[in-house]
Structure 1
Amino acid sequence: MMRPTRALLLLPLLAACATPPPAPPTPPEPPGHAACRAEARNDPAVQALGRQENPLNWGNRERVQNDLRVAELRAFRDCLRRNGLAAPGGVEPAR
Protein backbone atom coordinates (compact mmCIF):
# COMPACT_ATOMS: atom_id res chain seq x y z
CA MET A 1 0.00 0.00 0.00
CA MET A 2 1.25 3.45 -0.90
CA ARG A 3 1.58 6.16 1.70
CA PRO A 4 -0.43 9.34 1.25
CA THR A 5 2.76 11.44 1.11
CA ARG A 6 4.10 9.40 -1.81
CA ALA A 7 0.80 9.75 -3.59
CA LEU A 8 0.93 13.51 -3.10
CA LEU A 9 4.47 13.59 -4.49
CA LEU A 10 3.40 11.69 -7.60
CA LEU A 11 0.36 13.89 -8.19
CA PRO A 12 2.32 16.76 -9.90
CA LEU A 13 3.94 14.24 -12.25
CA LEU A 14 0.55 12.89 -13.19
CA ALA A 15 -0.80 16.40 -13.69
CA ALA A 16 2.14 17.23 -16.00
CA CYS A 17 1.02 14.48 -18.36
CA ALA A 18 -2.41 16.07 -18.86
CA THR A 19 -3.14 17.84 -22.12
CA PRO A 20 -3.47 21.62 -21.93
CA PRO A 21 -6.92 23.13 -22.43
CA PRO A 22 -7.69 24.39 -25.93
CA ALA A 23 -6.97 28.02 -26.67
CA PRO A 24 -9.99 30.30 -26.52
CA PRO A 25 -11.38 31.28 -29.91
CA THR A 26 -10.16 34.58 -31.27
CA PRO A 27 -12.81 37.28 -31.54
CA PRO A 28 -13.93 38.05 -35.09
CA GLU A 29 -12.26 40.96 -36.83
CA PRO A 30 -14.41 44.08 -37.36
CA PRO A 31 -15.66 44.39 -40.97
CA GLY A 32 -13.66 47.57 -41.62
CA HIS A 33 -10.44 45.92 -40.48
CA ALA A 34 -11.16 42.81 -42.58
CA ALA A 35 -11.71 44.98 -45.66
CA CYS A 36 -8.45 46.85 -45.02
CA ARG A 37 -6.57 43.59 -44.51
CA ALA A 38 -7.87 42.30 -47.86
CA GLU A 39 -6.93 45.60 -49.52
CA ALA A 40 -3.44 45.39 -48.01
CA ARG A 41 -2.94 41.86 -49.38
CA ASN A 42 -3.92 43.10 -52.86
CA ASP A 43 -1.75 46.23 -52.69
CA PRO A 44 0.49 46.51 -55.79
CA ALA A 45 3.65 46.98 -53.67
CA VAL A 46 2.86 43.84 -51.68
CA GLN A 47 2.13 41.88 -54.86
CA ALA A 48 5.42 43.03 -56.43
CA LEU A 49 7.38 41.92 -53.36
CA GLY A 50 5.65 38.54 -53.42
CA ARG A 51 6.84 37.98 -56.98
CA GLN A 52 10.48 38.58 -55.93
CA GLU A 53 10.58 35.58 -53.59
CA ASN A 54 12.88 32.72 -54.58
CA PRO A 55 11.96 29.65 -52.47
CA LEU A 56 15.26 27.93 -53.30
CA ASN A 57 17.36 30.77 -51.87
CA TRP A 58 16.96 30.85 -48.08
CA GLY A 59 18.48 34.31 -47.63
CA ASN A 60 16.31 35.83 -50.33
CA ARG A 61 13.20 34.16 -48.96
CA GLU A 62 13.79 35.48 -45.44
CA ARG A 63 14.48 39.01 -46.70
CA VAL A 64 11.46 39.07 -48.98
CA GLN A 65 9.14 37.66 -46.29
CA ASN A 66 10.28 40.35 -43.87
CA ASP A 67 9.83 43.09 -46.48
CA LEU A 68 6.45 41.60 -47.40
CA ARG A 69 5.28 41.65 -43.79
CA VAL A 70 6.39 45.29 -43.39
CA ALA A 71 4.76 46.38 -46.68
CA GLU A 72 1.50 44.60 -45.88
CA LEU A 73 1.37 46.13 -42.40
CA ARG A 74 2.09 49.58 -43.84
CA ALA A 75 -0.67 49.19 -46.44
CA PHE A 76 -3.07 47.93 -43.74
CA ARG A 77 -2.38 50.89 -41.45
CA ASP A 78 -2.63 53.36 -44.36
CA CYS A 79 -6.05 51.93 -45.21
CA LEU A 80 -7.17 52.20 -41.58
CA ARG A 81 -6.08 55.86 -41.45
CA ARG A 82 -7.76 56.62 -44.77
CA ASN A 83 -11.05 55.14 -43.48
CA GLY A 84 -10.77 56.76 -40.03
CA LEU A 85 -10.50 53.47 -38.12
CA ALA A 86 -8.41 52.83 -35.03
CA ALA A 87 -5.49 50.43 -35.38
CA PRO A 88 -5.72 47.22 -33.33
CA GLY A 89 -3.45 46.80 -30.33
CA GLY A 90 -1.59 49.55 -28.62
CA VAL A 91 2.12 48.95 -29.05
CA GLU A 92 4.11 49.48 -32.23
CA PRO A 93 5.74 46.23 -33.37
CA ALA A 94 9.50 45.90 -33.04
CA ARG A 95 11.51 46.31 -36.24
Structure 2
Amino acid sequence: MIITNMDKIPGKEIEFLDMVNCSAVYAKNFGKDIMAGFKNLVGGELTGYSEMVDDARTKALDKIKKKGESLGADAVLNIRYTMTSMTQGSAIAVIATGTAVKFI
Protein backbone atom coordinates (compact mmCIF):
# COMPACT_ATOMS: atom_id res chain seq x y z
CA MET A 1 0.00 0.00 0.00
CA ILE A 2 1.45 3.32 -1.09
CA ILE A 3 0.52 6.28 1.10
CA THR A 4 1.55 9.69 -0.19
CA ASN A 5 0.60 13.35 -0.30
CA MET A 6 1.20 13.36 -4.07
CA ASP A 7 -1.87 13.38 -6.34
CA LYS A 8 -0.48 10.76 -8.73
CA ILE A 9 2.22 8.12 -8.95
CA PRO A 10 4.63 8.69 -11.84
CA GLY A 11 4.28 5.97 -14.46
CA LYS A 12 1.04 4.55 -13.01
CA GLU A 13 -2.45 4.77 -14.45
CA ILE A 14 -4.99 4.99 -11.65
CA GLU A 15 -8.68 4.32 -11.13
CA PHE A 16 -10.45 6.38 -8.48
CA LEU A 17 -12.15 4.23 -5.83
CA ASP A 18 -13.33 6.56 -3.10
CA MET A 19 -12.36 9.32 -0.72
CA VAL A 20 -11.25 7.94 2.63
CA ASN A 21 -11.03 9.76 5.92
CA CYS A 22 -10.61 9.00 9.59
CA SER A 23 -9.84 10.66 12.86
CA ALA A 24 -7.82 9.97 15.97
CA VAL A 25 -8.44 11.79 19.24
CA TYR A 26 -5.73 11.71 21.88
CA ALA A 27 -5.35 13.19 25.37
CA LYS A 28 -2.44 13.45 27.77
CA ASN A 29 -2.73 12.30 31.34
CA PHE A 30 -3.02 14.79 34.17
CA GLY A 31 0.60 14.34 35.36
CA LYS A 32 2.06 15.16 31.95
CA ASP A 33 -0.32 18.12 31.68
CA ILE A 34 1.08 19.56 34.94
CA MET A 35 4.66 19.03 33.76
CA ALA A 36 3.82 20.83 30.52
CA GLY A 37 2.48 23.73 32.59
CA PHE A 38 5.83 24.03 34.38
CA LYS A 39 7.71 23.81 31.08
CA ASN A 40 5.50 26.58 29.75
CA LEU A 41 6.91 28.89 32.43
CA VAL A 42 10.56 28.36 31.45
CA GLY A 43 10.17 27.72 27.73
CA GLY A 44 11.23 24.90 25.47
CA GLU A 45 9.58 22.05 23.63
CA LEU A 46 6.59 20.45 25.29
CA THR A 47 7.67 16.90 24.47
CA GLY A 48 4.56 15.35 26.00
CA TYR A 49 2.40 17.32 23.60
CA SER A 50 4.71 16.63 20.66
CA GLU A 51 4.39 12.91 21.41
CA MET A 52 0.60 13.26 21.63
CA VAL A 53 0.45 14.90 18.19
CA ASP A 54 2.78 12.29 16.66
CA ASP A 55 0.76 9.43 18.20
CA ALA A 56 -2.53 10.83 16.88
CA ARG A 57 -1.10 11.41 13.40
CA THR A 58 0.36 7.90 13.27
CA LYS A 59 -2.94 6.37 14.41
CA ALA A 60 -4.90 8.38 11.81
CA LEU A 61 -2.47 7.23 9.10
CA ASP A 62 -2.86 3.59 10.21
CA LYS A 63 -6.64 3.93 10.05
CA ILE A 64 -6.61 5.51 6.59
CA LYS A 65 -4.34 2.71 5.33
CA LYS A 66 -6.80 0.10 6.66
CA LYS A 67 -9.73 1.90 5.02
CA GLY A 68 -7.86 1.93 1.70
CA GLU A 69 -7.08 -1.78 2.02
CA SER A 70 -10.73 -2.56 2.76
CA LEU A 71 -11.63 -0.93 -0.58
CA GLY A 72 -9.00 -2.97 -2.43
CA ALA A 73 -6.85 0.11 -3.07
CA ASP A 74 -3.24 -0.09 -4.16
CA ALA A 75 -2.57 3.40 -2.82
CA VAL A 76 -4.08 6.31 -0.94
CA LEU A 77 -3.06 9.56 -2.59
CA ASN A 78 -3.27 13.21 -1.68
CA ILE A 79 -3.16 12.60 2.09
CA ARG A 80 -3.99 15.70 4.10
CA TYR A 81 -4.08 16.21 7.85
CA THR A 82 -6.12 18.59 9.93
CA MET A 83 -5.55 19.02 13.63
CA THR A 84 -7.77 20.68 16.16
CA SER A 85 -7.31 21.29 19.86
CA MET A 86 -9.98 20.06 22.22
CA THR A 87 -10.52 20.70 25.93
CA GLN A 88 -8.14 23.65 26.06
CA GLY A 89 -5.06 21.91 24.72
CA SER A 90 -4.97 18.68 26.72
CA ALA A 91 -6.63 16.73 23.90
CA ILE A 92 -6.35 16.92 20.14
CA ALA A 93 -8.11 15.45 17.14
CA VAL A 94 -6.21 14.64 13.96
CA ILE A 95 -8.30 14.09 10.84
CA ALA A 96 -6.71 12.47 7.81
CA THR A 97 -8.24 12.44 4.33
CA GLY A 98 -7.05 10.95 1.07
CA THR A 99 -8.11 9.35 -2.21
CA ALA A 100 -8.10 5.56 -2.48
CA VAL A 101 -7.01 4.40 -5.94
CA LYS A 102 -6.32 1.17 -7.80
CA PHE A 103 -3.58 0.81 -10.40
CA ILE A 104 -4.84 -0.06 -13.89
TM-score for the superposition, normalised by structure 2: 0.39
Q: Which has the higher relative contact order, 1 or 2, with Cα contacts under 8 A spaced 6 or more apart? A: 2
Could you say which structure has the higher helix fraction?
1
TM-score, length of structure 1 as denominator length: 0.42
